[in-house]
Structure 1
């Protein structure tokens, strides 16, 4: 099993700006250390490699980064200049504007020997009552009869695919749920999964 996680929650990079503009001290976690501690509770002692991603531009322009960051900080449009100044003072390179809400540059690769397990997925078909299930249609060109090349020939017919919103992995040490969304959430408790709206008994057990 190989898992790559951020050293800290992606949005913690905005913490100094929340303090600067709103006087709010935001949480500093969750962190990779908490993930490792959870694995330890399951008697899993993984190999860890800590590394730093090379800087690269994640926005086309510094102005675009400034606009997105201002919105994330719940600031009005007229706070754009102050937001740009704050980003520069935070050390952001205008020539390589990063996404401060992504996984960050400090990463941890965690690996351990797995055991044969069973995979259970929750999709629209297996959890009909789940409002957040996801259906993806293979139809990027917008044509009702499928994707087409420039000359009009059909690459493949349009089709709908149920994509798992959540999966459960069963290991000897216990069960782990992975829930999709804006980010992947790792859940270790069936009670927490139930609280999130997953009611299917077979998926909880």
Structure 2
């Protein structure tokens, strides 16, 4: 939506927004059109909230979608004719950048899970048990223009 307002640059960088883009092909094309040398996207390999999937299963017996993925984005990028490279790496700081009190973590999860406040104790117990604290995989997707 803002492509016409953004100047051309040597390197165009997109950081953690790709999962929120509804029309990904025009978005990728706009990134490419605005870069003189390289396009770089950084994003997690799976949706940023996919770590909550076990909680959706526990509280609602819902299997959350496992797609789209960064690999699928790389495939689309290659199908557009861009010589895309996908470098995958562990984000060692995942879950450690901001130290939230447990009560705030519970509130955030409860709201995301569409649960009422009377379920806070259950949510807290599930957070302590179910959320994966291992580093998440992120990637750098890039190509030269």
Coarse TM-score class (shorter-chain normalised): 0.5 to 0.7
Measure how far apart 1:60 and its partner are. Answer: 2.5
The gaps in structure 2 that reach 5 residues or longer are: 1-38
Q: Which structure features the higher share of helix residues?
A: 2
Q: Is the 8 A contact 1:59 1:65 kept in 2?
A: no
Secondary structure at the counterpart of residue 49 of structure 2: helix
SS in 2 for 1:51: strand
1:9 maps to what in 2? 47
User: Aligned partners of 2:131 and 2:53: how far apart in 1?
Assistant: 14
Do structure 1's residue 49 and structure 2's residue 87 form an aligned pair? yes
Q: CA deviation at 1:92?
A: 5.5
Aligned-partner SS, 2:144: coil
Report the TM-score, using the length of structure 1 for normalisation.
0.47
2:127 aligned counterpart, secondary structure: helix
Distance 1:74 1:59 in 2: 23
Q: TM-score, normalised by structure 2?
A: 0.65
Between the aligned partners of 2:99 and 2:49, the Cα distance in structure 1 is 16
After TM superposition, where is structure 1 displaced by more than 3 Å over at least 4 residues in a row?
A: none
CA distance in 2, matches of 1:42, 1:92: 35
2:139 to 93, 102, 108: 108
Query: Which structure has the bigger radius of gyration?
Result: 1
Structure 1 unaligned spans of 5+: 94-103, 115-205
Give the number of aligned pairs: 104
